[in-house]
Amino acid sequence: MQARYPIGAVSVLTGLTVDTLRAWERRHRVVTPSRDDRGRVYTDADVHRLQLLAAAIARGHPIGRLARLADADLSALLGPPAGVPGAALPREAAARRGPRRGPASDTERPLGAPLGRVLAALRRFDAFEVERELGRLAAALPPRELVHDWLVPLMRQTGTEWHAGRLSTAQEHLLSAALRSLLGGIIRAMPQAARRPNLLLTTLAHDRHEFGVLGAAMLAALAGLRVTHLGCDLPADEIVDAARRSGAAAVVLGITYSEARPRLAGELDRVARRLPAGIELWAGGPLAPALASANGRAVPFADFQAFEVALARLGGRL
């Protein structure tokens, strides 16, 4: 899905003020954003071009001359190839990021420049830069858009690279910690009424992939429901006990770790057998449909949109 950014997000991602963006469009037609009910909306290509222009301006080139150049010419003017993380940033910002590590992979490019920078920082084990880039996105985008348009593609790409051996388990844990801190802060800032249904979210024992339940927790909090997020890798008996004691209306399990499929199936069956009848059992992630169909009680969700429909049925607001 083509990402679409409001002008405030573009301002954060490019370092250009909203007034500058409007002036450049009006006077020089550097990009031609479309419009929706929120106003101007920009594509990844628009953001990339504006980042190139911002970098060239920082080097002293006048916008009047730059506006006539194609993206390839702007990239040549800046020196490094456009795919290099940091090439579209002013020199000062690039210097703070440290040495470049080569061009972004083809698998990164569909995510757009911001998430390409997150993955580049992750490969360098640069925890500060990972958190900084995620923080910029969170500051620029509404939480629901952050989950659907950024967290989901980032989860998919990270999982793909981990399975292919291009990212280590340690790097995945680094990103999990950064997302847990970021999303946890956003969730804590959301009002949660005491009388609203409570969702308990975790993953089964042997499954340490936490991204999905973090995104689900944020969407549940946005829907006005109470959230009890227990992290990942929790034994079945602990899940059932926590659900009973917390008064959960539903238990939400992320199921992604295919290498542990037989053990996960056994854990899911144990949760289903022991969970009180009045508590719903939901499951999401790549393995959820197959394991849930064999289980009989767990309700699988193919994506976050289906999950939000279930939240509305439980009393959440969309």
Least confident window among 91-95, 113-117, 118-122, 301-305? 91-95
Please, are residues 227 and 156 in contact by the beta-carbon 8 Å criterion? no
- Evaluate if residue 317 carries a pLDDT over 90: no
Does this model's pTM top 0.75? My answer is no
pLDDT band of 283, cuts 50, 70, 90: very high
Same domain? For 120 and 184 the reply is: yes
Instruction: Provide the CATH number for the domain around residue 287.
Output: 3.40.50.280
Same domain? For 294 and 216 the reply is: yes
- Domain with 230, as residue range(s), is 192-314
Same domain? For 184 and 197 the reply is: no
Instruction: Give dist(CA 54, CA 71) in Å, integer.
Output: 12
Same domain? For 197 and 307 the reply is: yes
| Tokens representing residue 87 in the block | 């090439």
Same domain? For 182 and 221 the reply is: no
For the stretch 133-173, pLDDT in tens is 888 888 777 788 888 878 878 877 887 788 788 889 899 88
Tell which of 159, 189, 219 closes a domain: 189
Tell which of 103, 122, 141 closes a domain: 103
Report pLDDT for 92: 30
Please, are residues 131 and 174 in contact by the beta-carbon 8 Å criterion? no
**First-last CA distance in the chain:** 21
Same domain? For 236 and 302 the reply is: yes
| Tokens representing residue 202 in the block | 């975790």
Mean pLDDT of 289-295: 84
Least confident window among 120-134, 176-190, 230-244? 176-190
**294 CB burial (10 A radius; 0-12, 13-18, 19+):** exposed
Total structural domains within the chain: 3
For the stretch 1-38, pLDDT in tens is 455 778 877 876 777 888 889 999 999 999 999 888 76
Report H helices in 71-204. Answer: 71-78, 91-97, 113-123, 127-140, 143-145, 152-163, 169-189
- Evaluate if residue 247 carries a pLDDT over 70: yes
Q: Is the dihedral of CA 46, 48, 54, 60 positive or negative?
A: negative
Same domain? For 119 and 54 the reply is: no
Question: In the chain, at which residue ranges do the beta strands (DSSP E only) sit?
Answer: 5-6, 34-36, 39-42, 198-203, 226-229, 250-254, 280-284, 299-301
Mean pLDDT of 68-84: 72
For the stretch 216-244, pLDDT in tens is 998 898 888 999 999 889 999 999 999 99
Same domain? For 169 and 211 the reply is: no
Same domain? For 88 and 168 the reply is: no
The share of the chain scoring above pLDDT 90, in percent, equals 27
Let me know the angle formed at the C-alpha of 117 by 113 and 122, rounded to the nearest 5 degrees: 150
The share of the chain scoring above pLDDT 70, in percent, equals 85
Radius of gyration over every alpha carbon of the chain, rounded to an integer in angstroms? 22
- Evaluate if residue 195 carries a pLDDT over 70: yes
Neighbours of 203 (CB within 10 A): 27
Same domain? For 54 and 38 the reply is: yes
**Which has the higher per-residue pLDDT, 65 or 151?**
65
Same domain? For 286 and 209 the reply is: yes
| Tokens representing residue 207 in the block | 């499954």
**Which has the higher per-residue pLDDT, 307 or 196?**
307
Same domain? For 91 and 122 the reply is: no
- Evaluate if residue 90 carries a pLDDT over 60: no
Instruction: Provide the CATH number for the domain around residue 139.
Output: 1.10.1240.10
Residues forming beta bridges with residue 227, ordered by sequence position:
199
Please, are residues 90 and 52 in contact by the beta-carbon 8 Å criterion? no
Tell which of 137, 163, 189 closes a domain: 189
Range picked from 52-61, 109-118, 242-251 for highest mean pLDDT: 242-251
Instruction: Provide the CATH number for the domain around residue 64.
Output: 1.10.1660.10
| Tokens representing residue 284 in the block | 């999401």
Report pLDDT for 193: 65
| Mean pLDDT across the chain | 80
